[in-house]
Amino acid sequence: MPVSAQDQQTSVIPARVIVAGDLEFSVPADAGMTKRVPEMRRWIRDYQTWKEWNEKWRNRWEPGWMGTRERRKRPDPPFWLDAACRDDNVDDTGILADACRALTDWKDDDASAELRRQMAAARTQHETVNKTVWWEHVHIDALWPMTQVRSSVFGVLGTHATVDVAGRLQVFVAPGAILLNLPNGRDREWRPATDWGIAYRCFDFTLPGSDRRASLHINLAKAWILAGPSNVFPSSINLAGFSVTLKKTP
């Protein structure tokens, strides 16, 4: 029996409704923020340009061709940026993080910003380690007199090394060596000695005839005279005098 076209259409397998369940399709959270990236970049650039101008011309007028130029207006951030920065899901890196940091800076007035800059500079200076080299603590001694009144003992030339104690005060790290010139009853003689004591840095200066910097120190030390042809003086005497140390080239 022939089948009509109408029967063929009605005999097609019926469609079924497939239940997909409670599926939720969500747009990624940063999809809308991606569209705002050019606006954030533009505002960050404009604000940084204004900030550099303001740091230079904040307390004075900017000269122009005909008198002074008008003060530049601080660029306002996008109206939605403050709410976006309050979101707990903001990353520490990326364009949004940069914009949020710029927004925090934008909210500060000049006084707060200047105070923060001064605090950061002071903290950096405090944390900076003043590195020295070993030979900056090697002293050259010359013409040290004995501290006793009317004495005629002199430390002619010597050397010693120190270590910093506190501030400008230093202490001999080991016994130094010094050459003494002292009377022996009939004439004068040369005697080697060792010494140990303290040093105090007075000031820095430039060595004559050069651009080398050095430091002048005053020293108080006890010297122990080594054996010699005469024993006119006791085995130990007190000396005082100046010494010089070289500073490293910056």
Same domain, 138 and 119: no
Q: Is residue 225 part of a domain?
A: yes
Asked whether residue 250 carries a pLDDT value surpassing 80, the answer given is no
- Which of 76, 100, 127 lies at the terminal end of a domain, its last residue? 127
As a whole number of angstroms, the distance between CA 193 and CA 177 comes to 6
CA atoms within 13 A on the CB side of 211: 2
First and final C-alpha spacing in the chain? 111
Per-chain mean pLDDT for the chain? 78
Same domain, 179 and 92: no
Backbone angles phi, psi at 10, to 5 degrees: -75, -15
Domain that holds residue 75: 31-127
The closest alpha carbon to 135, from 100, 111, 160, belongs to 160
pLDDT digits (tens, 9 = 90+) for 134-186: 888 999 998 899 887 667 888 999 999 999 998 899 999 999 999 998 887 77
Q: Is residue 1 part of a domain?
A: no
Same domain, 119 and 143: no
- Which of 108, 127, 146 lies at the terminal end of a domain, its last residue? 127
Same domain, 156 and 242: yes
- Is the CB of residue 214 less than 8 Å from the CB of residue 245? yes
Q: Is residue 63 part of a domain?
A: yes
The closest alpha carbon to 244, from 107, 113, 144, 96, belongs to 144
Same domain, 236 and 153: yes
Same domain, 168 and 242: yes
pTM attached to this predicted model: 0.47
Same domain, 117 and 139: no
- Is the CB of residue 196 less than 8 Å from the CB of residue 175? yes
- Is the CB of residue 212 less than 8 Å from the CB of residue 206? yes
Q: Using a CB cutoff of 8 Å and minimum separation of 24, what contacts does 43-49 make? A: 43/75, 43/77, 43/78, 43/81, 43/99, 43/102, 44/95, 44/98, 44/99, 44/102, 46/75, 47/74, 47/75, 47/77, 47/102, 47/105, 47/106, 48/102
Same domain, 118 and 49: yes
Same domain, 41 and 92: yes
Q: Is residue 182 part of a domain?
A: yes
Number of domains, the chain:
2
Q: Is residue 12 part of a domain?
A: no
- Please report, as a single letter, which amino acid is at residue 194: T
Q: Higher model confidence: residue 162 or residue 12?
A: 162
> Six-digit token pair at 143?
């013409």
- Which of 110, 127, 144 lies at the terminal end of a domain, its last residue? 127
- Is the CB of residue 156 less than 8 Å from the CB of residue 241? no
73 to each of 47, 53, 70, 142, 195, how far by Cα in Å?
10, 11, 9, 66, 70
As a whole number of angstroms, the distance between CA 18 and CA 29 comes to 29
pLDDT digits (tens, 9 = 90+) for 19-28: 444 544 444 4
Which pLDDT belongs to residue 28?
Answer: 46
Same domain, 90 and 155: no
As a whole number of angstroms, the distance between CA 202 and CA 20 comes to 88
Same domain, 48 and 86: yes
- Is the CB of residue 103 less than 8 Å from the CB of residue 74? no
**Residue entry with tokens 């404009």:** 46
Same domain, 170 and 187: yes
Which pLDDT belongs to residue 157?
Answer: 93
